[in-house]
Structure 1
Amino acid sequence: MLGLPKGQVYLTKWTEEWEKEFIDEKGKIEKLLQPYAVAIHHIGSTSVKGLSAKPIIDIAIELNQFNEGEHCVMPLKGLGYAYKGTNILPDRHYFSKGEPRTHQIHMYESGNKYLLKQLHFRDYLRLNRQAKIEYEQLKQRLAKTYANDKHQYAAEKTNFITSLLKEIQNL
Structure 2
Amino acid sequence: MRAIKVVDYDPSWPRLFAEISTEISILLGDRLLSIDHIGSTSVPGLAAKPKIDLDAVMISDEFLPTAIEVVRAADFVFHGDTGEQRWAFTRDHQAYGFRLYLCGPDNRGHRERILFRDYLRVHPERAKAYAELKRRLAAEAGGDWDFYTAGKTTFVSETLRLADLRTWSAQPHSAPD
Same fold (TM over 0.5): yes
1:110 equivalent in structure 2: 105
Aligned mates of 1:90, 1:113 — CA distance in 2: 8
2:87 equivalent in structure 1: 93
Aligned mates of 1:65, 1:145 — CA distance in 2: 41
Give me the TM-score of the superposition, normalised by structure 2.
Answer: 0.86
- Which of these two proteins has the greater Rg computed from alpha carbons? 2
Stretches of structure 2 that go unaligned for 5 or more consecutive residues are 167-177
TM-superposed CA distance for 1:66, in Å, is 2.5
Residues 1-171 of structure 1 correspond to what in structure 2 (within 5 A)? 7-86=2-81, 88-98=82-92, 102-171=97-166
| Preserved contact between residue 84 and residue 95 of structure 1 (Cα < 8 Å) | yes
TM-superposed CA distance for 1:144, in Å, is 0.3
**Runs of 4+ with deviation above 4 angstroms:** none
Q: Larger relative contact order (C-alpha < 8 A, sep ≥ 6)? A: 1
Q: Once the two structures are superposed, what CA deviation does each residue of 1:4-29 show, in whole Å capped at 9, x if it has no partner?
A: xx743111111111111110000111
TM-superposed CA distance for 1:112, in Å, is 1.2
TM-superposed CA distance for 1:78, in Å, is 4.3
Task: Provide the secondary structure at the position in 2 that maps to 1:148.
Answer: coil
1:39 and 1:10, CA in 2 relative to 1: closer, same or farther beyond 3 A?
Answer: same
Give me the TM-score of the superposition, normalised by structure 1.
Answer: 0.89
Q: Once the two structures are superposed, what CA deviation does each residue of 1:87-146 show, in whole Å capped at 9, x if it has no partner?
A: x34221111112887111111111211111100100111110110111111111101011
Q: Once the two structures are superposed, what CA deviation does each residue of 1:141-166 show, in whole Å capped at 9, x if it has no partner?
A: 10101131112211110100101111
| Preserved contact between residue 96 and residue 105 of structure 1 (Cα < 8 Å) | yes
RMSD across aligned positions (CA): 1.8
